[in-house]
Structures are given as structure tokens and as C-alpha cells.
């Protein structure tokens, strides 16, 4: 996969700020990467208009698994597509922890995204307690085992995996390249066990990605990109991060 550099804004930026960011970033997209922005739903349309035809891709931060109905506050896969999204985050740890999304629900959202033709970034990762006990496998195996249940190989092959250790999100303490590589291997093992060796999913890393550590994830750890929270909010900084990745993977 072309290395992905993705910006997850979380609950930040109104329309005007979002448009200003999207305009700066669209003008400075380097060759050789897939740049994606996940704005809040209220800014999707404005960002879409700003980035139209300029190469920056759009994603939703969340989606519900029903296509329409009495689900106050929720957004359907079809609505995200209509708003210009190609990608969607599924199972982000903030959704799991703060909003109580269970592994099973994450699986329903994952299936809905795939059935609608969106590319899900399926987020998995261990808690600090697991990490401190050196249990690197348990959470990833459980999250993937439950959420992938019942999905066909053809559907699974369209998923982008995102390894986001919970202890690294917003903490300033990122995983090392060795740790990211180890977890990517665990993710690959689960896929191999469930679907055989024929499926090789792209894996991106998220959790306190900054300019100092970004290129290691794509070069040393051989991952397929990064998912950036805090450091994505400033347009100039995000441009620098995109350039780091593009430079690191350039032939």
C-alpha cells in the first residue's frame, strides 16, 4: 500500500478552521503518500469542498451500523459516503473506552463499513495494564477475533489495520519501532490463523506520533503508515510530518 499519513482531529476544529487547514495541506501534498483527514462530522462537507480534486482523502471518525432510522446522534455509512468519505475509523480506543463500544459492536460497525464500500481503519491495541504485564497478544487477539467474526476473506482483505496502544494515545509516550513491529506481527498472525496466508493487510501505527519518531514506523518497523492525533492539528506541522514520510519512503 502507498504509505498512509492520516490526521485524526478527534473533537477539534469548527468549519472555518477546518477549511483553512485543508487548504494549506492540500497545497503541500507530497508525492508517494496517501494523505487522509478525519474531521468531525460537522466539518466534512466544508473540507470536502476545499480538497475536491486535490488529492487529500476524507474519512469519518465513526459510523453506526444501521443504514437509516431512529438513532439520534448517529451517522450511517451511506451518509459518510455522501459526504465524500472513502475511509472510516472503527474501534478507536476513545470510542471503546468513553462511549462503551464493545468488541461485538465494533464488529457490527466494521461489517457495515465494508458492506457500504468504505475502507475501515480498524483500531486495536492493548491497555497500559496489559502492556505492563507484557501481555501484548491478549487484547489484539480478542478485539480482532470478535470483530472479524463472520466476515468473508474478500471483505477482510479491504481493511486497514491500525495498531494504537491505548497507553500511547495522547500521552507523549509512543511505542518504540520494535514494539510496533511486534504488535504488527501479532496482527498478521491473527489474520493468518483466521484467513490463511493469502491476506496481507496494511498496518498503520497511531499513538504520540511526532516529527522525531514518525519515519521509524515506516522505515525500521516497515509499517504502512501512521495515524496522528495531536500533532495533526497544526497544518504546518502536519505538512512536515507528511514530508518526513514521503522522504523516508522515496526510492
Q: Which residues are catalytic?
A: 92, 164
DSSP states of 148-182: TTT--HHHHTTPEEEE--GGGTTSS-PPPHHHHHH
Rounded to a whole number of angstroms, the minimum distance from the CB of residue 25 to ligand 13P is 16
Nearer to ligand 13P, 1 or 68 (CB): 1
Q: Select from 63, 187, 221, 228 the one that contacts ligand 13P (CB under 6 A).
A: 228
Our measurement of the distance from residue 158's CA atom to the centroid of its chain's CA atoms, rounded to an integer in Å, reads: 13
Is the sign of the CA dihedral 244, 36, 166, 40 positive or negative? Answer: positive
Rounded to a whole number of angstroms, the minimum distance from the CB of residue 164 to ligand 13P is 6
What residue is closest to ligand 13P based on CB?
A: 229
Radius of gyration of the chain (CA): 17
Q: Select from 3, 4, 5, 8 the one that contacts ligand 13P (CB under 6 A).
A: 8
Largest separation between any pair of C-alpha atoms in the chain: 51
Tell me which DSSP letter residue 49 carries.
Answer: H
Rounded to a whole number of angstroms, the minimum distance from the CB of residue 102 to ligand 13P is 19
Rounded to an integer, what distance in angstroms lies between the CA atom of residue 131 and that of residue 233? Answer: 28
Collapsing DSSP to helix, strand or coil, 227 comes out as: strand
Q: Select from 47, 190, 218, 227 the one that contacts ligand 13P (CB under 6 A).
A: 227
Q: Give yes or no for residue 207 binding ligand 13P (CB under 6 A).
A: yes
- Which positions from 231 through 250 interact with ligand 13P, judged by CB under 6 A? 231
* Contact between residue 67 and residue 76 where contact means Cβ atoms under 8 Å apart: yes
Rounded to an integer, what distance in angstroms lies between the CA atom of residue 64 and that of residue 62? Answer: 7
Query: x-or-dash pattern for ligand 13P, window 160-189, by CB under 6 A?
Result: ----x----xx-------------------
Q: Give yes or no for residue 204 binding ligand 13P (CB under 6 A).
A: no
Rounded to an integer, what distance in angstroms lies between the CA atom of residue 165 and that of residue 77? Answer: 26
Nearer to ligand 13P, 77 or 91 (CB): 91
Q: Give yes or no for residue 209 binding ligand 13P (CB under 6 A).
A: yes
Nearer to ligand 13P, 169 or 218 (CB): 169
- List residues near ligand 13P by CB under 6 A: 8, 92, 164, 169-170, 206-209, 227-231
Amino acid at each position: 500500500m502507498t504509505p498512509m499519513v492520516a490526521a485524526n482531529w478527534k473533537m477539534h476544529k469548527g468549519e472555518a478552521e477546518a477549511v483553512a487547514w485543508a487548504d494549506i495541506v492540500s497545497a503541500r501534498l507530497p508525492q508517494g503518500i496517501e494523505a487522509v483527514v478525519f474531521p468531525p462530522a460537522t466539518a466534512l462537507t466544508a473540507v470536502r469542498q476545499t480538497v475536491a480534486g486535490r488529492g487529500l482523502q476524507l474519512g469519518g471518525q465513526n459510523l453506526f451500523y444501521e443504514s437509516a432510522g431512529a438513532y439520534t446522534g448517529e451517522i450511517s455509512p451511506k451518509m459518510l459516503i455522501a459526504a465524500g468519505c472513502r475511509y472510516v475509523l472503527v474501534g478507536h480506543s476513545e470510542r471503546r473506552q468513553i462511549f462503551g463500544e464493545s468488541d461485538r459492536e465494533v464488529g457490527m460497525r466494521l461489517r457495515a463499513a465494508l458492506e457500504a464500500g468504505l475502507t475501515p481503519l480498524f483500531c486495536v491495541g492493548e491497555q497500559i495494564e496489559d502492556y505492563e504485564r507484557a501481555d501484548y497478544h491478549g487484547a489484539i487477539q480478542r478485539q480482532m477475533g470478535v470483530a472479524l467474526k463472520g466476515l468473508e476473506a474478500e471483505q477482510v482483505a479491504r481493511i486497514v489495520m491500525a495498531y494504537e496502544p491505548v497507553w500511547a494515545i495522547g500521552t507523549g509516550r509512543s511505542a518504540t519501532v520494535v514494539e510496533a513491529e511486534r504488535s504488527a506481527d501479532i496482527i498478521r498472525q491473527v489474520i493468518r490463523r483466521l484467513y490463511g496466508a493469502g491476506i496481507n493487510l496494511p498496518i498503520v501505527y497511531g499513538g504520540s506520533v511526532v516529527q522525531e519518531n514518525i519515519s521509524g514506523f515506516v522505515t525500521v518497523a516497515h509499517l504502512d503508515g501512521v495515524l496522528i492525533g495531536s500533532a495533526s492539528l497544526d497544518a504546518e506541522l502536519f505538512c512536515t510530518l507528511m514530508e518526513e514520510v514521503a522522504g523516508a519512503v522515496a526510492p
